[in-house]
Chain A
Amino acid sequence: MHEDKLIKMANPYLIQAATIMEKIQEADDIYTYRLRLNNEDARRNFRFTAGQFNMVYLFGVGEVAISIVSDPDKPEHLDHTIRSVGRVTSAIAQLQAGEALGIRGPFGQGWPLDVARGQEIIIATGGLGCAPVVGAIEYVFRRRRHYGSVKIIHGVKTPRDLLFHGRFEAWSTQPDTEVLLASDRPDKTWRYHIGVVTELFERVSIDPAKTVVFMCGPEIMMRLGVPILMRRGIPATAIYVSLERHMECGIGLCGHCQMGPYFLCKDGPVMRYDRVEPWLGRTGV
């Protein structure tokens, strides 16, 4: 958007080398990489907000946009949870702890944790969409008394797709916090809701006048889920969604991540719902 902004003069294309400190398997094809920037100055100066992303680089292969999963209060290590789906992510999956990746970032607009202060928060995610909200949840629990009740709603296809199982367990023990999980193809071990995640949007208790929603997951979940929340009285201006598009630069120049008038890499990935509502679900946008 064309309002006046401070122009950042440093070379935005420069990639910093980082070392994989730990590689944690989360699911069959999903790993979390705990990265530490090699350069001490770069490490000390790195600050991010929950919901922002990095361009993660592999030598000889290229870059891919990945949200930062870890806690923004601990920027000395940066967790990225990556599913191998494409050329770059499949090559990254071959790496082991001790090997090198690169980082360029952080980029984009994160979750509006300031707007949510004093409010009740609903965190609604599906599939790997639970990754970009982890940092926000940790941030809120570290400042628990500044926020109202927290409801974490998460849907997966099968129980095998449930990442961060331990974290969901731990979050459910936090004061004034509810964790609601759904699987539409459960097995015998599943002791949570059976069905699609949006069914939980109907059931969760809501005080619509003082609730802020953070949503991340497949766009179909947003298109079906947001109208339910709005019908229950939450205004579109209190709903934030994290959106995904192809990104090559992260700085609003390469043109790939456009959604209507927005460059999701710099205007997003977190967008207030009323701003993107006209574009979600439009073919070819």
Chain B
Amino acid sequence: MAVAGKIDVLSRSDLQRFFDILGSKGYRIVGPSVRDGSVMWETIQFVSDLPSGWRDHQEPGRYRLEQTGSRDIFGVVHGPQSLKPFAFAPREPLLQIERCKEGFTARPTLPQQRKVAVIGARACDLAGLAIQDQVFLQSEYHDPYYATRREGLFIIAVNCTRALQTCFCASMDTGPRAKNGFDLVLTEVDDQLLVEAGSEAGADLLSDLALSPASQKVISEAAACVDACAQSQIRRVDRTGLPQALYDAHEHPRWDDVAARCLACANCTMVCPTCFCHKVEEIPDLSRQNAEHARLWDSCFTQEHGYIHGKNLRPTITDRYRMWMTHKFASWIDQFGTSGCVGCGRCITWCPVGIDLTEELSSLLASSSRSHA
């Protein structure tokens, strides 16, 4: 077994050997792949399937890929998907229900446990997954569907050495360095990959590769690159006074201001690594003898989310944007002891009108402390 904290050099051919080992152990390997002008998680087999030379540029309401011609494998920071869909499936069949003489019988339809190795997760994604673990596995009720998918995950994280314009993980204390929640972590520096184990399973697999240790010089250089990435982030969130400061801003005029721009399209909640709202649907077949009972991602931006017998508690976009942001930055802290935001910036990029929640939050907090002093 590899020594904890030991950092090795992983060449491209080593990485391919590593993929082959994962494959032979029954893992489906999933990595970022260029698709439709973005990167999505796709099943891969070869190092050459990774988006070599590509870089992403993200701004409020804008995502662009650029081919730089460099040899970097992990030049793209992230696409719209976090790790969320791997454990909290966008649509999860819960029960298969069959009519019978006495009424019906319901049978749980737990997902088949599959071994999935994800390569390319970022520190913000790990933080998001840790929050989802807390919601689905450490509340009063243990979610067996989430647990089954989660158990099969093997995570190969990548430390960030380049910040996007939309990144603010440094101010949320979630990145850009992956601290825990991974099996292996890579750092790409000067055409080289450094690798370190974060779990026993990761260390076991590494020992099969018999890698050579990285030099102190390159280790220091890699650490400096990650530190510089943190320093270069232009967005930040000041969490002083949260959660109460945001509760106190309930009547702030800024909510109407942002609601006038927000389309309530729900994109922010779909790309968010932590949003867990879901609804349940019942789909009977044509014979009406069988029904599938499934849950699917929902969003607090929809009309139906706040519906209760004949009225909608959150009829306006003002109500819904406030619900979402207050949950992320205030009530989440009361519910789970952490912020519901990990600073990945996806909601800023994928907002079709480019609403920047860091800007909204600072406006809400700056003047609320004056008017509510």
**Shortest Cβ distance from B330 into A: residue:** A261
- A266 vs B298: C-alpha distance when bound (angstroms): 19
Q: Which A residues lie within 8 Å of B102 (CB)?
A: 17, 19, 38, 100
Given A11-B108, A100-B102, A246-B306, check contact A253 B335 (CB 8 Å): no
Let me know if B95 and A17 touch, CB within 8 A. no
A62-B280 in contact (CB<8A)? yes
| 9 additional contacts (CB under 8 A) given A9-B142, A12-B143, A254-B295 | A2-B335, A5-B140, A17-B105, A38-B103, A246-B307, A254-B277, A254-B279, A255-B300, A284-B314
A258-280 vs B, Cβ < 8 Å mask (1 yes, 0 no): 10110100100000000000100
Mask: chain B, 27-55; 1 = CB below 8 Å from A; 0 = not: 00000000000000000000000000000
For chain B, which range describes its interface: under 10, 10 to 19, 20 to 34, or 35 or more residues? 35 or more
A-B residue pairs, 8 tightest by C-beta: A100-B103, A284-B319, A255-B277, A261-B334, A60-B284, A17-B103, A251-B141, A85-B309
Within 8 Å CB of A9, what residues of B?
142
Interface: B221 (CB within 8 A): no
Chain A residues whose CB sits within 8 angstroms of the CB of B135 once the complex forms: 253
For the complex formed, measure the closest distance between the CB of A198 and the CB atoms of chain B, giving whole angstroms.
21
Q: Which residue of A lies closest to B109 (CB)?
A: A13
User: Within the complex, what minimum Cβ distance (angstroms) separates B264 from chain A?
Assistant: 13
State A61–B341 Cα separation when bound (angstroms): 35
Instruction: Give 28 pairs: A residue, B residue, CB < 8 Å, sorted on A.
Output: A1-B335, A7-B138, A7-B141, A11-B108, A12-B143, A13-B293, A14-B108, A17-B103, A17-B106, A18-B103, A59-B99, A59-B104, A62-B281, A244-B308, A246-B306, A248-B279, A252-B139, A253-B135, A253-B136, A253-B276, A253-B278, A255-B276, A256-B298, A260-B247, A266-B140, A284-B306, A284-B313, A284-B314
DSSP majority for the A interface?
loop
Contact count A vs B, C-beta below 8 Å: 150
B104 in contact with A284 (CB, 8 Å): no
A62 near B140: Cβ-Cβ < 8 Å: no
- Give chain A residues whose Cβ lies under 8 Å from the Cβ of B319: 283-284
Chain B, residue nearest A63 (CB): B280
Q: When the two chains form their complex, are residues B138 and A255 in contact, meaning their CB atoms are under 8 A apart?
A: no
Question: Is there an interface contact between A246 and B334, defined as CB atoms closer than 8 Å?
Answer: no
B305 at interface, CB cutoff 8 A? yes
Residues of B within 8 A of A15 (CB): 95, 97, 106, 293
B280 touches A60 (CB 8 A): no
Q: Do B277 and A285 touch (CB < 8 A)?
A: no
The chain A residue sitting closest to B332, CB to CB, is A261
A261 to B242, CA, bound (A): 13
Whole-angstrom distance from the CB of A282 to the nearest CB of chain B?
Answer: 6
Which A residues are in CB contact (< 8 Å) with B349? none
Q: A1-B335, A245-B308, A284-B322 are in contact. Are A14 and B282 (CB under 8 A)?
A: no
| A153 at the B interface (CB under 8 A) | no
Residue of B nearest to A89 (CB): B309
Alpha-carbon distance A18/B104, docked complex (angstroms):
9
Q: List A contacts of B348 (CB < 8 A).
A: none
Q: Which residue of A lies closest to B105 (CB)?
A: A17
- Given A2-B335, A278-B247, verify A246-B144 contact (CB < 8 Å): no
- Specify which chain A residues have a CB less than 8 angstroms from the CB of B314 in the assembled complex: 284
Which residues in A have their C-beta under 8 angstroms from that of B243?
A: 261
Query: Is B323 positioned at the interface, with any CB of A under 8 Å from its CB?
Result: yes
Which residues of chain A are within 8 angstroms of B141 by Cβ–Cβ distance? 7-8, 12, 251-253
CB of B250 within 8 Å of the partner chain:
yes
Given B318, B320, B335, which contacts A261 in the complex, CB threshold below 8 Å? B335
Closest CB of chain A to B111's CB: distance in Å? 13
- Tell me the nearest residue of chain B to A101, going by C-beta: B103
Residue in B closest to A284 when the chains form the complex, CB atoms: B319
Interface 0/1 of A133-160, CB less than 8 Å to B: 0000000000000000000000000000
What B residues does A256 contact at CB under 8 A? Answer: 277, 279, 298, 305-306
Are the C-beta atoms of B104 and A255 separated by less than 8 Å?
no
* In the complex, chain A residues whose CB is within 8 Å of the CB of B281: 62
Docked Cα-Cα span, A12 to B337, in Å, equals 24
Question: Taking A14-B108, A246-B307, A261-B335 as contacts, is the C-beta distance between A253 and B99 under 8 angstroms?
Answer: no
Q: Is A224 an interface residue (CB 8 A)?
A: no
Please report which residues of chain B, range 233-252, place their CB below 8 angstroms from some CB of chain A when the two chains form the complex: 243, 247, 250
Q: Does A86 contact B (CB under 8 A)?
A: yes
Measured between beta carbons, the chain B residues less than 8 angstroms from A38 are 102-103
Shortest distance from the beta carbon of B160 to any chain A beta carbon, whole Å: 29
Question: Across the interface, which residues of A come within 8 angstroms of B363, CB to CB?
Answer: none
The CB with the most chain A CB atoms within 10 A, among B106, B108, B319, is that of: B106
Q: Which of B103, B280, B322, B334 contacts A254 (CB 8 A)?
A: B280
Give min CB distance, A118 to chain B, whole Å: 29
**B residues in contact with A16, CB < 8 Å:** 106
Q: In the docked arrangement, what's the CA distance between A6 and B144, Å?
A: 16
Mark contacts of A41-79 with chain B using CB atoms, 8 A cut-off: 1 yes-contact digit, 0 otherwise.
000000000000000000111110000000000000000
Q: Which B residues are in CB contact (< 8 Å) with A244?
A: 308
Q: Do residues B282 and A61 form an inter-chain contact, with CB atoms below 8 A? A: yes
Q: Do the beta carbons of A59 and B284 come within 8 Å of each other?
A: yes
Question: How far is the CB of A251 from the nearest CB of chain B, in Å?
Answer: 4
**How would residues 339 to 364 of chain B score, 1 for a CB under 8 Å from any chain A CB and 0 otherwise?**
00000000000000000000000000
